[in-house]
Amino acid sequence: MKNLRIVFFLITAFTFANSFLRAQTEEETGKVIVLDKATFLNKIYNYEKNQDEWIYEGTKPCIVDFYADWCGPCRQVSPILKQLAKEYKDQIIVYKVNVDNEKELASAFGIQSIPTILFIPKSGQPQLAMGAFPKETFEKQIKEFLLKQDGKSSPD
């Protein structure tokens, strides 16, 4: 019986530790992270608590893709965002919100067409963009708006 309790304890501890470590590193892996309302409020912006002022809850600039599974242009943007999440994994985080599953969240941001992309710098106001863009447009927005790089090379 004592051995059974020890095994149960070890399995529980391992499961908890594994979940904790996965949650800690999920944003550092370069994957696109799907958000629900609760996670959005915690990681992006708690619009229920801060109705009058934009307060970004994140630690890195991010992109939030408001999409739907049935949307053709959304499916075109998806692989681009996956590439960008990997390429910029140390600098930004890429999230996505399914508007069919998170109607309240989509409504809170006035999402009426998809894909709608929310670019959120670490400080300052976010920018909304509607439509499917090529990778180059996303890269320009990441460099110039999210990371505040002017695109000019420095003199040697």
Q: What is the pTM of this model?
A: 0.78
Instruction: Look at strands 116-120 and 62-67 and give their pairing.
Output: antiparallel
The Cα–Cα gap between 49 and 35 comes to: 18
Position 21 scores a pLDDT of 45
Residue pLDDT, tens place only, 5-24: 544 444 444 444 444 444 44
pLDDT tens digits for 70-83?
Answer: 999 999 999 999 99
**Measured between alpha carbons, how far is residue 76 from residues 50, 99, 133, 135 in Å?**
34, 17, 9, 10
Residues involved in catalysis: 71, 74
Tell me what pLDDT residue 4 has.
52
User: pLDDT averaged over the chain?
Assistant: 84
Per-residue model confidence as pLDDT tens digits over 76-133: 999 999 999 999 999 999 999 999 999 999 999 999 999 999 999 999 999 999 999 9
Distances in whole angstroms, Cα of residue 50 to Cα of each of 40, 44, 58, 70, 72: 13, 12, 15, 32, 34
